[in-house]
Structure 1
Amino acid sequence: MNSISKKATIFKRKKYRSEEKKDMISGYLYIAPFFIIFTLIGLYPALFSIFLAFQKWNGLSPMTFNGLANFQTVLTDPLFWKSVYNTIIMGILGTAPQLVVGLVLAYLLNMAFLKFKSFFRVTIFMPYLTSMVAVALIFSVLFSNHESSLANFVLTNFFGLDPIAWKASEWGTKIAISIMVFWRWVGYNTIIYLAGIQSIPNDLYEAATVDGANKFQQLFYITIPMLKPFIILTVFTSTVGAMQLFSEPTVFLGRDAFTRDEAMTIVMYLYRDAFRLQSFGTASATAIILLVIITVFAVFNLKLTQGFGRKKRGGADE
């Protein structure tokens, strides 16, 4: 009987292990499509770009190794540093205001007395869903160089300023593109903040109201501290998006986008080298430099955002 029970136990263990292996294999098969697609579309191009950054290649002739020459070419090119300057300026003008305005809009959309909330939420989010072709048409009319354009009409009639040739002046181009970025993405950040606000317990606001706190104080001492994870998320994604600015300048300036230094961004510089000058080596080197710049800015912004409120809490704890 003992030998029979032992054999039965061994058989059960083998059967359990075989079932466990089948479950493990089926699990890997379920997630395999993602990793295959990621390898083909994401990982392989990234690794190939790193390899290509040390090669001289025009896409047709054989590759030749040239070490760090591509990085030297990019870093000594005044146009590259102009593109870095343009990217940072337009990123700040278009990104920083949308985070602040998005937070205020989300707070207002969560007010109890506000009617037609769904309508306003959909309306604010619509620019994010609008195609770039429609955006290009709208902003080409709004910021036309003509004196009768809507932007110049507002400047001359309401502020008494002279008309601006938006597509011909450096700061006019930067401001117009930054407004386009703001218009497209403020609704996206608003919806994220709104989701975060709705996750805050109402008991906190009721207790603050009983203690005499007004809406302004509730915003700064309850809403913003509780939204810290959402703020970190939007700051990170906005930083990455600002450093990869490409669509807005190209659709706003059209054919002149790659011949105008005042609107050249880092990604546009990369695209120009790769697909207009057929210099894939310098384009790949630019991509690696861009990755470093994005990492530096993202880490800086994350550290800055994570540091909010620490000093105050530390002083209170002491």
Structure 2
Amino acid sequence: MDLTRAKAKDKAEPKKRKLSEGKKDMLSGYLYVAPFFIIFGIIGLYPAIFSIYLAFQKWSGFGEMEYVGMQNFTLVLQDPLFWKSLYNTLIIGVMGTAPQLIVGIILAYFLNLAVIKFTNFFRVTIFMPYITSMVAVALVFGVFFSNNESALANYVIGWFGVDPINWKTSEWGAKIAISLMVFWRWVGYNTIIYLAGLQSIPKDLYEAAKIDGANGVQQFFHITIPLLKPFIVLTVFMSTVGALQLFAEPTVFLGGSAFNRDEAMTVVMYLYRDAFNLNSFGTASATAVLLLIIIVIIASINTWLTSGSKRRKKVRAKHAKG
């Protein structure tokens, strides 16, 4: 009788399904990566979505928001200071980014040579500016590019007969000083990326090129640069995006007066001034959206040019076979 009841009870109660090992591994993987997505959603995705929403609102940071449509974008696009800040951003970006990419490739090439001794020391030395505190960088460059006639920068240009420059107040003086700061801080970062790319190139290619009679310059332009192209595209993309988001270097170099002058104001400094100095979070968010559009356009052009070169090579290869 008891056995019959036990069987009836087993039939009445549904059996608990056990997870397979594959599902357990998948669930474990999701649990491991969940903290990243949760944190990214809170401090990354939500502020970005809220900023887009705020671009269509009039809000001072307190009280209720007022929907104004495209008015914030109109105010920003009609402001001459916005276009001035965009001009400054592009000029400083080109002056500070292009040289560091070229110099980074050259430094990485020499660091990769077997004849160079103490390569680990030089690698650490070149990479040190990237991990140096921005406050320390600002203090050093503030001394170098002081407005005094005895400052190091004015002393050096005096050798060439150039009059002393007020680096922090003149139009091009501030741009040159900030560009050199950007160059000094990021050239080591790009050099390490290029060095990793160079070390991934098989040495057999260089040995075969030597047997064929190619010199060092020919090897550099026909082997090193083509095989280093993916790393060059990566650094160009990252440097372009970083240049358009330039904020720390001009802010710490110019100090408290950075937001009151337009000699070196960047787009990010412009939106920061609107948000936290003028309490106009709507126009600041509209500026952020416009900056996002500019970054997407430039990144798309960069990708299009890269894929376009690949298509041209394929077309040439087909014609050569034909």
TM-score by length of 1: 0.92
1:304 is aligned to 305
Amino acid at match of 1:301: N
| Partner secondary structure for residue 103 of structure 1 | helix
CA contact (8 A) 1:57 1:63 kept: yes
Q: Distance in 1 between matches of 2:123 and 2:26?
A: 44
Are positions 1:246 and 2:258 aligned together? Answer: no
Say if 2:195 is the partner of 1:194. yes
Aligned residue for 1:52? 54
Task: Give the CA deviation at 1:94.
Answer: 0.2
Ranges of 4+ aligned residues in structure 1 off by more than 6 Å: none
Counterpart contact for 2:108–2:192, Cα < 8 Å: yes
**Residue in 1 aligned with 2:257?**
256
- Structure 2 residues without counterparts, runs of 5 or longer: 1-16
2:44 to 35, 42, 45: 42
- Identity among equivalent positions (%) equals 71
Give the aligned partner of residue 7 of structure 1: none
Instruction: Give the aligned residue type for 1:302.
Output: T
- Counterparts of 2:178 and 2:144, CA distance in 1: 12
- Give the 3-state SS of the residue equivalent to 1:113 in structure 2: coil
Report the Cα offset of residue 303 of structure 1. Answer: 3.1
Query: For 1:10-64, what per-residue CA distance to the aligned partner results, in whole angstroms no more than 9, with x for missing partners?
Result: xxxx54x554443333332222111111110111111111111111101111111
- Rg (Cα) greater in structure: 2
Helix, strand or coil at the partner of 1:29: helix
Query: Could you give the per-residue CA deviations for residues 117-168 of structure 1, whole angstroms, max 9, x where no partner exists?
Result: 11111111111011001101110111111111111111111x2211111112
The letter of the residue matching 1:135 is V
Going from structure 1 to structure 2, the CA distance change for 1:23 and 1:316 (only over 3 Å counts) comes to closer
What do the CA deviations read for 1:164-213 (whole angstroms, capped 9, x no partner)?
11112100000100000000000000000000000000000000111111
Q: Which residue is 2:158 aligned to? A: 156
Q: Distance in 1 between matches of 2:282 and 2:83?
A: 18
Q: Residues 90 and 174 of structure 1 are in contact (CA less than 8 Å); yes or no, is this contact kept in structure 2?
A: yes
**2:186: which partner in 1?**
185
Deviation of 1:304 after TM superposition, in Å, equals 3.2
Q: Distance in 2 between matches of 1:98 and 1:139?
A: 17
Report the RMSD for the aligned CA atoms in angstroms.
1.9
Secondary structure of 2:88's match?
helix
Partner in structure 2 of residue 269 of structure 1: 270
1:74 to 73, 76, 91: 76
Question: How far apart, CA to CA, are the structure 2 residues paired with 1:103 and 1:308?
Answer: 21
Q: Which SS does the other structure have where 1:262 is aligned?
A: coil
Structure 1 pair 153/313, CA: closer, same or farther in 2 (3 Å)? farther
User: Which secondary structure state, in structure 2, belongs to the residue aligned with residue 263 of structure 1?
Assistant: coil
Letter in 2 for 1:133: V
Counterpart-to-counterpart distance in 2, 1:232 and 1:168: 35
Q: Which residue type is aligned with residue 210 of structure 2?
A: T
Give the letter aligned to residue 27 of structure 2: I
Please identify, of 238-247 and 292-301, the stretch whose mean Cα deviation from structure 2 is larger. Answer: 292-301
- Corresponding residue pairs, total: 306
1:202–1:18 Cα change, 3 Å: closer
Work out the CA distance in 2 between the residues paired with 1:31 and 1:185: 30
Alignment CA distance shift 1:311-1:20 (3 Å): closer
Paired residues for 1:1-318 under 5 Å: 15=18, 17-157=19-159, 159-308=160-309, 311=312, 314-315=315-316, 318=320
CA contact (8 A) 2:169 2:263 kept: no
- Gap change, CA 1:179 and 1:148, over 3 Å in 2: same
| Contact 1:232 1:306 (C-alpha < 8 Å) held by counterparts | no
Post-superposition Cα deviations, 1:255-287, rounded to whole Å, max 9, x if no partner, equal: 110011111100000100111111111111100
Per the TM alignment, residue 296 of structure 1 is displaced from its structure 2 partner at its CA by 1.3
Q: Cα deviations across residues 286-313 of structure 1 (Å, max 9, x unaligned)? A: 0000001111112223333455576467
SS at match of 1:145: coil
Confirm or deny: 8 A CA contact 1:235 1:302 kept in the other structure.
no
